[in-house]
Amino acid sequence: MSADGLLELADGRQFAGRWLGEPPRGRVVGEVVFNTALTGYQEICTDPSYAGQIVVLTYPLIGSYGAAPAWCESAAPALRGLVVHQAEVASHGDAAMELRDYLGAHGVPVLAEVDTRALTRCLRDRGTEVGVLHAGDPLADAVRREVVQGFSLAGIVDSVSTQASYVVPGDGPTVAVVDYGLKRGIVDELSRRGFRVVVLPSTARVDDLRALHADGVVLSNGPGDPQDLAGRLDLVREAVEHYPTLGICLGHQLVALAAGGRTFPLKFGHHGSNHPVRDEATGQVDITSHNHGYAVDGASLPREYRVRFTNLNDHTIEGLAHVRRPVITVQHHPEAGPGPHDAARIFDEFATYVRDSREGRTASHA
């Protein structure tokens, strides 16, 4: 490790560490969140939902199995910075490189030797804050306020979305996936079920969706405030009114907004792979992977939606189901990456919706 480093929160609290690799050039500003997963740091780093954020890993030993292309959830790291307690040397046979080298190659700074326990307690007590990673002396109060006030996540979804449509071949029905910050694991789960997947950019319009003649629609995960996409809800309404639809994380929130519901920011978000979620239809409890800073306000939902999943930690809504249409949403990540695979059955349920709908259309034209 080389130069001394500092994470300063918006309220002036400071957490010192040492850079793992090269220090950042200038100041790195982001929303500081903590993740409680024990493994899966590379999947976390490459999850586009972390765009614009500085991620604090609560597990104290990070890097022991290195990094490899096969463990990525997107083409490059999405987060702005990583904060860890102790950095380990890779000792895994499949590792292609050290985590520090992987992140360093993409210009993502890593601050190690930080008291991540104290930092996490601060975020839990005070809530998510904007922070600044930098080398050198602490910032003057006026400078820090100026830097923090200039931070915004507006437009962050389009920065991580594909810019052009592409196809992942399959022999089964066609599923359109709207990429608001899509994880590779979602496409993998759809491909495992035989679907032909067409990925659309976040800027896709209703006519783009109609032109595909798809058999189902997936609204993906993504970063930022769902309210920032309030001007794009026509496509979401088109999906839920005319196609079997699965909304995941941000996609879940957009379905709620399109139905006239509201969302609100959580105090410090849900970030980890160990959150218990109850399926209200069966009573089954799944341990699930989470990464979101907003939740749906249940009191704002229209009657045609019922709560399908509930978070057992804070009782926030973890998913919805339409009472008549083949529409299901989840706030958590059924594709995991990282995390347990308890919730992968959501993809099976969606696959049943798609095939039943397709068979129904075929029979009606016979």
Show me where the domains of the chain are located: 4-149, 156-364
Q: Write down the pLDDT at residue 358.
A: 86
Mean pLDDT of the chain: 95
Query: CA-CA distance, 62 to 281, in Å (whole number)?
Result: 38
Average pLDDT over residues 235-239: 98
Average pLDDT over residues 49-59: 98
Q: Write down the pLDDT at residue 359.
A: 83
* pLDDT surpasses 50 at 106: yes
Catalytic, 213? Answer no
Catalytic, 335? Answer yes
Average pLDDT over residues 209-235: 98
Q: Contact at 8 Å (CB) between 131 and 10?
A: yes
Q: Write down the pLDDT at residue 361.
A: 65
Helix (H, G, I), strand (E, B) or coil at 333: strand
Q: Write down the pLDDT at residue 365.
A: 40
Q: Contact at 8 Å (CB) between 301 and 257?
A: no
* Fold of the CATH domain 156-364: Rossmann fold (3.40.50)
Average pLDDT over residues 201-222: 98
Q: Write down the pLDDT at residue 366.
A: 41
* pLDDT surpasses 90 at 297: yes
- Work out the number of other CB atoms within 10 angstroms of the CB of residue 161: 21
**DSSP E strand boundaries for the chain:** 4-9, 14-19, 28-35, 53-57, 61-62, 81-83, 86-87, 110-112, 129-134, 166-168, 174-179, 196-201, 216-219, 245-248, 262-279, 285-297, 305-311, 317-322, 327-330
> What are the tens digits of pLDDT across the range 194-207?
999 999 999 999 99
Average pLDDT over residues 155-172: 97
Q: Write down the pLDDT at residue 136.
A: 84
Stronger pLDDT, 269 or 363, i.e. the higher one: 269
Catalytic, 333? Answer yes
Q: Which helix (H) or strand (E) holds 359?
A: helix 345-364
Identify the sign of the CA torsion 299, 301, 307, 308: negative
Query: CA-CA distance, 60 to 6, in Å (whole number)?
Result: 18
Q: Write down the pLDDT at residue 318.
A: 98
Q: Write down the pLDDT at residue 124.
A: 97
- Provide the percentage of residues in the chain whose pLDDT is more than 70: 98
Average pLDDT over residues 32-43: 97
Burial class (CB in 10 A: 0-12, 13-18, 19+), 51: buried
* pLDDT surpasses 70 at 224: yes
Q: Write down the pLDDT at residue 363.
A: 52
Q: Write down the pLDDT at residue 360.
A: 79
- Provide the percentage of residues in the chain whose pLDDT is more than 90: 95
Alpha carbon of residue 18 to chain centroid: 28
* pLDDT surpasses 70 at 362: no
54 pLDDT band, cuts 50/70/90, is very high
Q: Which of 249, 275, 318, 322 is catalytic?
A: 249
Average pLDDT over residues 73-101: 95
Query: CA-CA distance, 295 to 317, in Å (whole number)?
Result: 7
Q: Write down the pLDDT at residue 1.
A: 41
Average pLDDT over residues 264-293: 97
* Fold of the CATH domain 4-149: Glucose Oxidase; domain 1 (3.50.30)
Nearest to 179 by CA among 227, 235, 234: 235
In this prediction the pTM is: 0.95
Lowest mean pLDDT among 55-64, 111-120, 327-336, 352-361: 352-361
